[in-house]
Homo-oligomer: A and B are copies of this chain.
């Protein structure tokens, strides 16, 4: 049985961007498989009483978050960090497209492209043209058909179910990593621990 680590993210999440850019390389080195699980933070933040990102609700924390990510981006050789305007971006279409890209086994390159557009290029990821570029960069076939499919009721429902599932699993922010036994890790700075935990589980079962 392959060791699978779930990676729950919202395409508008700043810290999920940091994880998206390194999770595949880190996990592959340890023979762990990554399951990309897009969802929307909006309903989860509303359940906590916020009508926007906590980085907007608490300005001191928001200013710190930008500085923190600037430092981490520099240390990891990522491009200078840009906070998109508006922040958070409206990420619903990117999240629906991520589900469809997963069906084509293209979700990892698609999401890396989306995150880079948002946080390195400062582009608006609710824009169809930007999303089209990302789909193309990820090698997704029939880009226009996929863009259209993202507005279908079945896809909308699928994303809603994913967000409900995230809430049920105890997700309260992004990125969240969930190991095969349900153990939950929150934040890019817990990614290594989540991978270690997943591997330890495999050894315990073997």
Q: Does A190 contact B (CB under 8 A)?
A: yes
Q: How large is the interface on A (under 10, 10 to 19, 20 to 34, 35 or more residues)?
A: 20 to 34
Question: B-facing mask of A23-57, CB < 8 A → 1, else 0?
Answer: 00000000000000000000000001000000000
Alpha-carbon separation in the docked complex, A184 to B58 (Å): 16
A170 touches B68 (CB 8 A): no
B71 touches A170 (CB 8 A): no
A68 touches B172 (CB 8 A): no
In the complex, what residue of chain B is closest to A47 when comparing beta carbons?
A: B60
Q: Is the interface of A mostly helix, strand, loop or mixed?
A: helix
Q: Which B residues are in CB contact (< 8 Å) with A136?
A: none
Alpha-carbon separation in the docked complex, A64 to B63 (Å): 24
B48 touches A172 (CB 8 A): no
Alpha-carbon separation in the docked complex, A184 to B68 (Å): 9
In the complex, what residue of chain B is closest to A190 when comparing beta carbons?
A: B68
Q: Which B residues are in CB contact (< 8 Å) with A61?
A: 172-173
Alpha-carbon separation in the docked complex, A193 to B67 (Å): 13
Q: Which B residues are in CB contact (< 8 Å) with A63?
A: 170
B64 touches A186 (CB 8 A): yes
Q: Does A189 contact B (CB under 8 A)?
A: yes
A64 touches B193 (CB 8 A): no
B189 touches A64 (CB 8 A): no
Given A61-B173, A68-B186, output 6 extra A-B contacts at Cβ < 8 Å: A48-B60, A60-B172, A61-B172, A63-B170, A64-B170, A68-B190
